[in-house]
Amino acid sequence: MMTLSNSLAHADVAHQLHPFTDARAFEQNGPLIIDHGQGIHVFDSTGKKYIEGMAGLWSVAVGFNEPRLAEAAYKQFQKLPYYHTFSAKSHEPSIKLSEKLAEMAPEGLNHVLYCSSGSEGNDTVVKLVWYYNNALGRREKKKFLARTNAYHGITMASGSLTGIAVDHKDFDLPILPVIHLTCPHFYREGTAGETEEQFTARLLKELEDTIAREGADTIAAFIGEPVMGAGGVLVPPKGYWESVEAICRKNDILIVADEVINGFGRLGTTFGAAKMGFTPDIMTVSKQITSSYMPLAAIVFSDAIYEAVADNSHKIGAFAHGFTAAGHPVATAVALENIAIIEERDLVGNAARLEAPFQSGLRAFADKPLVGEVRGVGLMAAVELVADKATKAKFSKSGQVGQIANRIAHEEGLILRAIGDTLALCPPLIVTEADVAEILRIMGVVLDRTAKEVAELGIA
């Protein structure tokens, strides 16, 4: 971490409140100030080089200095730096991106609504779904089904959909009518003697029982990440999503795929829903849509939803929702170029090809001390550290060992993310086989050094 003698660090501590950060600890330790990037690497203000093993925040597909994105932004800034999309106004980049997203999306999802972040996107999904059901005269159909450990954002509505306790604590969330079902993570949620197939059947029965108890006529949508990200890279059991889709279709419940992390190649497919074998009615996309070079998110939704929404907007005079920067011309121009790069360089295929060495390489650490479970799919993975491998017992103080590992990773030149005591990795889609080998080498060192320090400190 940076020393507080650094003037930038002083100013940061004095004035900036950081997301997902212990503010008092931050006052003592200061920030890690990232100065510039090159490919899969970033460099801090002292010149130290790191592999950015989290692609920023699950988001940088094309690396940290792609000149084509800078050029796309510059050209659009010169031509039309800003315009809105309210009141029937439009511009070329947002039109072309909407057309492209409809082309890429599952069949029947041909309509796009823009905002600036995944949190705003899922917030907007709630309003869109409510508006849709009101348009159809189904004013009681407002509840959402989500899952424990899901992450859908941090605004009032999307934060309510999120199923992580710390994201609710002292924010008075959730405020929505949302029911959080069991997390589909067999390692943690499976019971003694239960097979993975029995676990899946239990979760599906829970879903059916919940619908029966609440009434299908009160439930608007089931929202889920195809593979959970910020909850700890949680991969659902085989057959889970196909069965969830069948139950929702049977009960006229919309399916919302939160593709904010999974989308644009992360799992080795264009969208995560395809990898998991289901077709949503609505997708929320963000992050890798621009490689996070510009803030942008989009809600891509079905023809059926559009028709009802369009009719209602005509009936009452407007679809009265939107943001100043919705479909921003520079952001949408950057998105178009970013998607072009992903396609031209076959980065989706690259994720699919490197899945085997990346995932198998991490699973080779399963026998190391502290390693409870290694999991993941595509170029997205996690190593969960435990106090007792045999019983899966967690450490008495959650997150303490994860932070030790996080610090050691920084010392070794790798940025990962400690989610409690789970170490997450999500490298840029431009990684090579040699890059993957280097990430694995450093991870081996991190795990060995962490185990040694935990033993020396007597942490249990």
> How far is 217 from 133, CA to CA, in rounded Å?
10
Report the alpha-carbon distance of residue 223 to residue 226 in Å, rounded: 9
CB 232 within 8 A of CB 419: yes
pLDDT at 387 over 50: yes
Residue 415, classed as helix, strand or coil, is strand
pLDDT digits (tens, 9 = 90+) for 347-368: 999 999 999 999 999 999 999 9
Strand-pair partners of 49 = 43
Percent of residues, the chain, with pLDDT higher than 70: 99
Closest among 158, 164, 132, 165 to 144, alpha carbons compared: 158
Domains of the chain plus CATH, in order, are: 32-62+346-457 (3.90.1150.10), 68-344 (3.40.640.10)
Cα gap 113→23, rounded to integer Å: 35
Q: Sorting pLDDT into bands at 50, 70 and 90, what band is 238?
A: very high
CA distance 272 to 137: 32
Question: In terms of DSSP H, where are the helices of 374-424?
Answer: 400-412
Query: How far does the chain reach from its first CA to its final CA, in angstroms?
Result: 26
Chain centroid to CA 201: 26
Exposure class string for 76-97: b at 16+ Cβ within 10 A, else e:
beeeeeeebbeeeeebebbeeb
**pLDDT at 104 exceeding the cut of 80:** yes
Cis peptide before 237 (omega within 30 of 0): no
Average pLDDT over residues 95-107: 98
pLDDT at 5 over 90: no
Which residues contact residue 212 at a Cβ distance below 8 angstroms, ignoring those fewer than 6 apart? none
The residue among 191, 268, 272 whose CA lies nearest residue 226 is 272
Q: Return the percentage of the chain with pLDDT > 90, whole number.
A: 98
CB 226 within 8 A of CB 256: no
Residue 1: what pLDDT? 46
Q: Could you report the per-residue pLDDT of 152-211, keeping only the tens digit for each?
A: 999 999 999 999 999 999 999 999 999 999 999 999 999 999 999 999 999 999 999 999
Does position 2 have pLDDT exceeding 70, yes or no? Answer: no
Model confidence band, residue 3 (pLDDT cutoffs 50, 70, 90): low
Both tokens assigned to 5: 């003698």
pLDDT of residue 6: 79
Residue with tokens 């959650």: 398
State the average pLDDT over residues 286-305: 98
Beta strands in 74-108 (DSSP E): none
Reading the block at residue 351, the tokens are 């994720």
Q: Give the span between the Cα atoms of 380 and 212, in whole angstroms.
A: 35
Q: Are 196 and 237 in contact (CB under 8 A)?
A: yes
- What is the H or E stretch that residue 245 is in? helix 240-250
pLDDT tops 80 at residue 265: yes
pLDDT, mean of residues 300-326: 98
Say if CB 164 and CB 352 are below 8 A apart.
no
- Give the pairing type, strands 380-385 and 422-425: antiparallel
Residues 6+ apart with CB under 8 A from 131: 309, 312, 319, 321
